[in-house]
Amino acid sequence: MSNRTLNLTDPLYDYVLAHSLREHPAQTALRDATRGHERATMQIAPEQGQFMAMLVKLTGARNTIEIGVFTGYSALSVALALPADGRILACDISDEYTRIGKPFWAQAGIADKIDLRLGPALARRR
C-alpha cells in the first residue's frame, strides 16, 4: 500500500498527476484534509482511486464492498463512479477516521451511496 505509485521519479509522478488525474473538487479537498493526519500514508493514491473508478465503470458494478475506509477517499472515488442507484457497503473500525471523510462525501453529493458500518469487517459475515 502506498499513497503514491511506486517506482516513478518525482518529475514523472508529477507528470502523471498533471496530465491524467481528473478529480472531483471534493476528492482534492479530502486529500488536503487528510494530508496532515498522523496516519496520512494509509490513504490510497489519487491515481489508484481513479483506477478503481475506471474498474467500476468498466464492470458496470452497482454494489461494492469496501473493507478499510480510513478518511474515505477510495469510497468517494468509487461512489462517484457508481450509477445513481449504486451502493457501497463500507466497513471500518474507526469512527475517528471515517468521520473526517463524511463532509466530503456530502460535498460530492454521494453520501447516500455509502452505507458505513463501524466494526470489524469479518464480524459482518453472518
Ligand X SMILES: C[S@@+](CC[C@H](N)C(=O)[O-])C[C@H]1O[C@@H](n2cnc3c(N)ncnc32)[C@H](O)[C@@H]1O
**30 or 86, CB closer to ligand X?**
30
80: phi > 0 → left, psi -120 to 50 → alpha, else beta; which? alpha
Footprint on this chain of ligand X (rule: CB under 6 A): 1, 42-44, 67-71, 73-74, 91-94, 97, 120-121
Nearer to ligand X, 16 or 33 (CB): 33
CA distance 97 to 74: 13
Residue with grid cell 500514508, as numbered in its chain:
41
**Torsion angle, alpha carbons of 89, 92, 96, 98, to 10:** -30
Least distance in Å: CB of 11 to ligand X? Answer: 25
Whether the CB-CB separation of 16 and 6 falls below 8 Å is answered with no
Query: To the nearest whole angstrom, how small is the minimum distance from the Cβ of residue 69 to ligand X?
Result: 6
Instruction: Give whichever of 43 and 64 is closer to ligand X, judged by the CB atom.
Output: 43
Q: Of all helices (H) and strands (E), which one includes residue 92?
A: strand 87-92
The CB-of-117 to ligand X minimum distance in angstroms stands at 9
- Work out how close the CB of 80 gets to ligand X at its nearest, in angstroms, rounded to a whole number: 13
- CB nearer ligand X, residue 61 or residue 93: 93
